[in-house]
Amino acid sequence: MQEILDDIAEVMSTATERGQVADYIPELAAVNPNQFAISVALPNGQTYSSGCAQQLFSIQSISKVFSLTLALGKLGDAVWNKVGREPSGDPFNSIVQLEHEQGKPRNPFINAGAIAIVDAIMMGHEPKELLAEILQFVRFIANDNSIAIDEKVALSELATGHRNTALASFMASFGRIEHEIPQVLGTYYHQCSISMSCEQLARSGLFLVSDGVNKSTGIRVVSSRRARRINSLMLMCGHYDGSGEFAYRVGLPGKSGVGGGILAIAPNKASIAVWSPGLDKIGNSKLGTVALEMLVQRTGWSIF
Ligand code: GLN
């Protein structure tokens, strides 16, 4: 495994087409595009890495997997009254479907859906309390109490989030948002601003590898049925309007973020995190996808 990861990192270090880093906030625009990391966490607790796998980055939309998991724990199937579970075929921050579908987001991984999920799990609590719960959950599944939120990123998101404000307001116009919009969005932005390294991120996905149990700690996080369903949503919706392409090329459930990270799950095999900040036109890590494609070719881990 170490040899495979080193080979991949070596190829990535010479890649010239690295995509464009997200530039909607200065904190992401300033990230050096020449970085690359990959980590593979195995259920037996071993982790293999190559590249700058300790380097922290903004997990952004990968956090939507964790908030969905929390929401399913709190609300069970009632989550599906709030959001659908169909691919959108539209960009992550698109508003067009919302009008046709009476303000109900297609799935929990597009921005509108993730904002609706935050609203659903707020349940009258203060944003601070919910945030503490989300962060605590991420620390728990990654088995790492050092994971934290980058406040600067969150404040920049807040200052530039006009489109997310529009999405939340539009859903509210259909009576679909129960809490004050600034509180919901403030929580959403902080959730997106969690910083993690590839190693931490790979470990955080272990519960999705082994039917809901993190075998490295022996702790059951969700039922096996729920783990399967979260994986299926990641496969169908985790890369927005690039989900079909990702399934075609990589063949694993995966969730991307505009920080350049991707969490991918090879069921019964491994949890994989890749990071390279340059994005393709859809907003998914360009080299991260190439690296996963190479890993799957070498390991035969595609689910197909
Ligand atoms: N914070 C980003 C946003 O709301 C997350 C988007 C993403 O990672 N795709 O626009």
Confidence bin at 22 (pLDDT 50/70/90): very high
Catalytic annotation on 83? Answer: no
User: Residue 99: what pLDDT?
Assistant: 96
Neighbouring CB atoms inside 10 A of 66's CB total 23
User: Residue 73: what pLDDT?
Assistant: 97
User: Residue 115: what pLDDT?
Assistant: 98
pLDDT digits (tens, 9 = 90+) for 230-288: 999 999 999 999 999 999 999 999 999 999 999 999 999 999 999 999 999 999 999 99
User: Residue 189: what pLDDT?
Assistant: 98
DSSP 242: G
How many angstroms separate the CA atoms of 75 and 234, rounded?
19
| Ligand 1 midpoint to CA 3 (Å) | 33
Cβ pair 262, 293 in contact under 8 A: no
| Ligand 1 midpoint to CA 189 (Å) | 8
User: Residue 40: what pLDDT?
Assistant: 99
How many angstroms separate the CA atoms of 97 and 106, rounded?
8
Best CA proximity match to 202, nearest among 291, 283, 85: 291
Give percent of the chain with pLDDT exceeding 70: 100
With a Cβ cut-off of 6 Å, ligand 1 is lined by: 60-61, 92-93, 111, 157, 164, 192, 257-258, 283
User: Quick one: CA dihedral 118, 119, 120, 125, positive or negative?
Assistant: positive
Q: What is the CATH number of domain 2-58+196-299?
A: 3.40.710.10
User: Residue 226: what pLDDT?
Assistant: 98
| Ligand 1 midpoint to CA 61 (Å) | 5
List helix spans (H) across 161-240. 162-173, 181-192, 198-204, 206-209, 224-237
* Atom number in ligand 1 closest to CA 259: 8
Catalytic annotation on 188? Answer: yes
Catalytic annotation on 94? Answer: no
Give the mean model confidence (pLDDT) for residues 98-105. Answer: 97
Please, what CATH class does the domain formed by 61-192 belong to? Answer: alpha beta
How many angstroms separate the CA atoms of 191 and 135, rounded?
8
Pick the catalytic residue from 40, 50, 64, 210.
64
Pocket probe mutation, ligand 1, options 20, 28, 61, 165, max atoms within 8 Å of Cβ? 61
DSSP 1: -
User: Residue 230: what pLDDT?
Assistant: 98
pLDDT digits (tens, 9 = 90+) for 182-207: 999 999 999 999 999 999 999 999 99
Cα-only R_g, the chain:
18
Give percent of the chain with pLDDT exceeding 90: 100
All structural domains of the chain with their residue ranges: 2-58+196-299, 61-192
Q: Whole-number mean pLDDT of the chain?
A: 98
Catalytic annotation on 64? Answer: yes
Give the mean model confidence (pLDDT) for residues 101-109. Answer: 98
* Atom number in ligand 1 closest to CA 93: 10
User: Residue 192: what pLDDT?
Assistant: 98
Give the mean model confidence (pLDDT) for residues 130-136. Answer: 98
Catalytic annotation on 21? Answer: no
If DSSP states are collapsed to H, E and C, what string results for 126-158? CHHHHHHHHHHHHHHHHCCCCCEECHHHHHHHH
